[in-house]
A and B are shown apart, each in its own frame.
Chain A
Amino acid sequence: MVTSHSRPTGKKVLLMGTCLCDAFYDEAAKATVEVLEHLGVKVVFPEDQTCCGQPAFNSGDWKASRKVARHCAKVFAGDLPVIVPSGSCAAMNFHGNLLQFEEEPDPLVTSLANRTWEVMDFIYHGLGVKTWPGSFPEPLKIVFHRSCHSRGTQSAESTLALLESIGNASVMSIGQAEQCCGFGGTFSVTFPHISGRMGSLKLDHLLEMQPDVLVSGDMSCLMHLTGLARMQGRPISHMHAIQLLRKTIP
């Protein structure tokens, strides 16, 4: 699928904040900025950004999603790396967009595809930070939900390697890690029963080892999972993986 060798890297990047961080999870976007700056990277946030277009794309309305993708590609035009704190939105940029434009390739869209990095992958492969120079004051038990849209990329492995290298961190393995949390965007709306059952099964596996914190590379999975968990009376502390890195920076 995507190899890091072909994508540009460097000390100046464009941040694609994602609509979910725009609406709910500003802390994840802030942590992305602060961690990158800590690593000496200058972060630019193009003001006109909105959404990657995935809701329309996944619904099959490619006319609508191509319109959004063109807007997105224009906002992030240029030659700088585009960093996304979401495996799903990143995959939309470098995979979904190529699919929906396969019959009418758009140079701006292709350029965005070739410059997009999920943030943990960027830190590990783009910046070459293979172990994280930091630690937690107290031991911390972490469960990591491998979000589905990072399949076939190096994001999950990068995230695990970085999290495991934090001092005092222990990342616990979970059963049936390959199973989806059941969010799937509009899927959770039109398949409410199946989506809820999938989420509950996932929670059973994630919470089995009584972790201190649940992390993922996608806030969408966490929104769904923790929303279910709260309703089921088993709330869990949760955050984006980048927020855990941020916690180690004084």
Chain B
Amino acid sequence: MIGIQPIDQYARLIDDEKQASVIDGSSKGTEKRYHVLHEDYADPDAIRRLAGAIKDHTLHHLGDYLAQAEQAMMARGIHVHFAATDEEARQVILSILRSHEVKQLTKSKSMAAEEIHLNPFLIDNGVECLESDLGEFIIQLDGDEPSHIVKPIIHKNRREIANTLLREGIAEDYNDDPETITRRARVHLREKYMQAGACITGANFICADTGRLTLVTNEGNSRFGMAPTPVHIALVGIEKIIPQEKDLAVFLNLLGRSATGQQLTVYTEFINGPRAASQPDGPEHMHVVLMDNGRTDVLASNCREILRCIRCGACQNVCPVYRQASGHAYRSTYGGPVGAVLSPLLFGDKFSELADLPKASSLCGACNEVCPVDIPIPDLLLRLRNKAKQESVHSPANIPMAPFAHLATSPSFWRTAMTMSKAMNHLPIQVAPIKPLQDWLGQRTLPDSRGGEFRRWFKARSSS
């Protein structure tokens, strides 16, 4: 049965304000990225390919690099944990918090934490958990979900945000000036930083050779979170390893430019380990939780290239389908093209549930063109569509293709069908009781059939 895809149905219902915020934010992101990369580099594609090759190499030797990174981190006094599943990751983090009797913590933005729904879990277990990234903070206040990898509240405008602060008593009066909003949130957050018993962050990279973590932010909130607290926990996907510190030159130059059109994010932190004796502040205890949560399955699949992803969101910004549908349409932590590949794979037991996501693409390839690690996203979407077909995953909108294949391998039938298609010119096909055809023709006219005309012309002139 041919039907309308869920993401299209979702897009149809989005209100105009949200739609405008998403289109505006993502189009600007695409434009800024393009300009900063082309102003600074003669051949940005060469750098993208290099970054992709480094990531690919790392993934081919991931076991070795993980072991090397583990040794290097331990030598720095970092406690290293491996978590195979989301549940293990949550339990490891909870037990660390319990051993330090942490009741309150701050958390900087982490997609890995979103992936395992860490906040609600910690809150259920009696740990107050405050998001310190402004966007994530607003999301938390609203009980909402992030809709973009780097701009979690791209779907909201400043009027909505001002109202949120007013409602929560963080602002005394309504003011939607961005600077005022930021200042008010900052005053509220500063106090919380000082009370927190731990700080949870993600990491953008872990260098296997030195065991140092690299973390980028634009708000400095993770530094603030770490400075006054005794315990730092970093939750990191195992694919975040890169071989050497000098590789950061490639990745940091690409990450900021691809994500936000900045040459470099405002803050780039290199985290050595727990506080050294000579340092006046910083956590005394540092834990790194390396999380698999389906990643090794992805590594073993024919879509392993998606693990190169450095979570910049450039594919999301440029994607015309995402722009119309918004990130929430993807029903998972990761939206846009990367989410359409990663979510059905990572949440593997849910593949059938999310098998429609890879279909949410015209296969235009813009995502591949902007990807800082050159992931062939359209190819991966196609492989997943094939996987869904092979596994006979029920999808509301599968168009049966066997009749087409039969016709297209029977040349004489094909020629007859082409000639006969001219009859359609005289039939009121728009009233045919086929819903998708009606929908299609409701928006567009179809050109007149000229089936077989070219063949006739070609034959006539060859024989003359």
Contact = CB atoms under 8 A, between A and B. Distances in A.
Interface stretch (A117-125, A156-164, A178-186): A178-186
Interface stretch (B87-95, B251-259, B339-347, B442-450): B442-450
A194 interface: yes
Interface in A10-40: 17, 19, 21-26, 29-30, 33
A69 B447 CA distance: 27
B228 interface: no
A223 B450 CA distance: 14
Given A179-B366, A223-B447, A193 B8 contact: yes
Interface stretch (A208-216, A227-235, A241-249): A227-235
B163 interface: no
Contact of A24 (B388, B440, B448): B448
Contacts of B146: none
A65 interface: yes
A59 B401 contact: yes
Which of the listed residues B388, B447, B457 has the most CB atoms from chain A within 10 Å of its own CB?
A: B447
B7 to A, nearest CB: 7
Nearest to A192: B439
Contact of B454 (A22, A198, A227): A22
Interface in B362-376: 362-366, 368-369
A234 to B, nearest CB: 12
Interface string A55-68: 11111111111011
A191 B321 contact: yes
A7 interface: no
Contact of B414 (A50, A63, A228): A50
A32 to B, nearest CB: 10
A178 B315 CA distance: 12
Given A187-B361, A187-B362, A190-B3, A17 B454 contact: yes
Interface residues of B, number: 69
Interface stretch (A106-114, A128-136, A144-152, A166-174): A144-152
Contacts of A58: 363, 382, 385
Contacts, number: 208
Given A50-B414, A180-B362, A57 B446 contact: no
Contact of B445 (A60, A176, A230): A230
Contacts of A195: 362
Contacts of B362: 148, 180, 182-184, 187-188, 191, 195, 198
A15 B140 CA distance: 59
B444 A189 contact: no
Contact of B446 (A183, A201, A227): A227
Contact of A25 (B11, B405, B450): B450
Contacts of A59: 385, 389, 398-399, 401
Contacts of A22: 418, 451-452, 454-455
A182 B457 CA distance: 32
Main secondary structure of the interface of B (DSSP, over half): helix
A38 B166 CA distance: 72
Given A189-B2, A193-B12, A227-B444, A53 B324 contact: no
Given A56-B405, A60-B385, A30 B443 contact: no
Given A65-B401, A190-B3, A198-B362, A71 B320 contact: no
A190 B4 contact: yes
B445 A227 contact: yes
A48 interface: yes
B34 to A, nearest CB: 8
B331 to A, nearest CB: 16
Contact of B365 (A25, A152, A183, A226): A152
A141 interface: no
Contact of A190 (B379, B415, B436, B457): B436
Nearest to A183: B362
Interface in B401-438: 401-402, 404-405, 407-409, 411, 414-415, 418, 421, 436
A24 B320 contact: no
A64 B5 contact: no
A19 to B, nearest CB: 8
Contacts of B359: 60, 187, 190-191
Given A26-B453, A178-B366, A64 B405 contact: yes
Contact of B366 (A29, A148, A186): A148
10 contacts: A23-B418, A23-B449, A51-B404, A55-B399, A60-B382, A60-B386, A151-B369, A179-B366, A190-B4, A190-B359
Given A59-B389, A190-B8, 8 more contacts: A22-B452, A22-B455, A96-B382, A99-B382, A179-B320, A180-B320, A190-B3, A192-B436
Interface of B: 2-5, 7-9, 11-12, 27, 30, 318, 320-321, 324-325, 359-366, 368-369, 379, 382-389, 397-399, 401-402, 404-405, 407-409, 411, 414-415, 418, 421, 436, 439-440, 442-455, 457-458
